[in-house]
């Protein structure tokens, strides 16, 4: 890595100082979610640094999801991220309720489609066999959180077409109305960046960071029930895994 020149060193230092100061103010609640930060000019004057340096510090905190910018309005303190444990097989509805948030969905489509290679492999069905695809925008307290696309094999789940999945839980319908028990799931997590579909659905900027979650859920006979791809907002979510050393 190139060595920094002596002139750059102090600015680098002051930028990190401001960033950590703001980080602490957010952590202690001195700065509250939704609160506007003073204008960049004011922060620059107050800390004796350039506006460029202030902007750099704020950009880091925006990238970390602690602040968000509203063009023309300023920079605000973000809501804390939802910390989602990854150990139990839970539904979106259960996840939001356990955090005191109101779950909701906006239906984007429910249709019968041919299984792609990927879907067929996950659901262990023949390529091009018919599957049910349910696409929903998942909301917490009315705010878009994730864009979800669920595939279920047909004819087993054909009855779902008649269900209103807008504001109800798929897992609840499966378990309580259809008598399908969900035993286990395998889930993959990877970073992704927002393309046009995610931008529109989640109301975020192109290129925003997302977490792509892929899940295959199985019944007690180990038959795949659903294959899901969900794009979660990277600025609103973090996942928690508890590890034990054997």
Environment class of 136 (CB within 10 Å of its CB; exposed 0-12, middle 13-18, buried 19+): buried
Q: With binding defined as CB under 6 A, does residue 231 bind ligand 16G?
A: no
144, 153, 210, 226: residue in contact with ligand 16G (rule CB under 6 A): 226
49, 66, 92, 115: residue in contact with ligand 16G (rule CB under 6 A): 92
CB of 92 to ligand 16G, least distance (A): 4
Do 131 and 119 meet the contact criterion of CB atoms below 8 Å apart?
yes
Helix axes 8-28, 51-63, angle to 10 degrees: 50
Q: List CB contacts of 121: < 8 A, sequence separation 6 or more.
A: none
Do 104 and 125 meet the contact criterion of CB atoms below 8 Å apart?
no
Helices (H) and strands (E) in the chain, counts: 7, 10
The residue behind tokens 């378990």 is: 175
132, 140, 211, 213: residue in contact with ligand 16G (rule CB under 6 A): 213
152, 228, 231, 236: residue in contact with ligand 16G (rule CB under 6 A): 228
Beta bridge partners of 136: 107, 148
Instruction: Give which of 230, 231, 227, 229 is closest to 119, Cα–Cα.
Output: 227
Q: With binding defined as CB under 6 A, does residue 198 bind ligand 16G?
A: no
Nearer to ligand 16G, 69 or 238 (CB): 238
Q: How many residues does the chain have?
A: 246
Number of residues this chain uses to bind ligand 16G (CB under 6 A): 15
CB of 161 to ligand 16G, least distance (A): 15
Q: With binding defined as CB under 6 A, does residue 66 bind ligand 16G?
A: no
Q: Tell me the C-alpha distance between 169 and 180, whole Å.
A: 14
215, 218, 233, 234: residue in contact with ligand 16G (rule CB under 6 A): 215
169, 183, 219, 238: residue in contact with ligand 16G (rule CB under 6 A): 169
**Of 67-75, 112-120, 226-234, 237-245, which part binds ligand 16G (CB under 6 A)?**
226-234
**Of 10-18, 32-40, 90-98, 200-208, which part binds ligand 16G (CB under 6 A)?**
90-98
Do 204 and 102 meet the contact criterion of CB atoms below 8 Å apart?
no
Q: With binding defined as CB under 6 A, does residue 84 bind ligand 16G?
A: no
53, 54, 93, 233: residue in contact with ligand 16G (rule CB under 6 A): 93
Q: With binding defined as CB under 6 A, does residue 227 bind ligand 16G?
A: no
Q: How, if at all, do strands 74-77 and 82-85 pair?
A: unpaired
- Give residues in contact with ligand 16G (CB under 6 A): 91-93, 148, 150, 169-172, 213, 215, 217, 226, 228, 230
């Amino acid at each position: 890595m190139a060595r920094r020149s002596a002139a750059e060193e102090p600015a680098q230092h002051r930028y990190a100082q401001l960033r950590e100061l703001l980080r602490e103010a957010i952590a202690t609640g001195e700065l509250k979610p939704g609160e506007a930060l003073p204008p960049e000019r004011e922060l620059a004057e107050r800390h004796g640094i350039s506006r460029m340096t202030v902007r750099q510090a704020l950009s880091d905190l925006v990238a970390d999801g602690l602040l968000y910018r509203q063009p023309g309005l300023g920079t605000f303190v973000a809501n804390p991220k939802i910390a989602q444990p990854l150990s139990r097989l839970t539904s979106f509805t259960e996840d939001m309720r356990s955090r005191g948030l109101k779950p909701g969905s906006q239906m984007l489509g429910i249709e019968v489609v041919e299984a792609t290679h990927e879907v067929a492999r996950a659901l262990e069905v023949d390529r091009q066999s018919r599957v049910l695809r349910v696409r929903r925008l998942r909301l917490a307290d009315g705010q878009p959180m994730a864009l979800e696309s669920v595939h279920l094999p047909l004819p087993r789940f054909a009855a779902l077409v008649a269900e209103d999945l807008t504001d109800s839980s798929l897992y609840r319908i499966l378990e309580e109305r259809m008598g399908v028990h969900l035993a286990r799931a395998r889930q993959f997590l990877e970073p992704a960046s927002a393309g046009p579909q995610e931008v529109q659905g989640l109301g975020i900027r192109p290129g925003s960071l997302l977490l792509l979650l892929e899940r295959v859920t199985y019944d007690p006979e180990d038959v795949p029930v659903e294959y899901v791809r969900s794009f979660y907002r990277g600025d609103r979510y973090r996942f928690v895994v508890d590890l034990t050393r054997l």
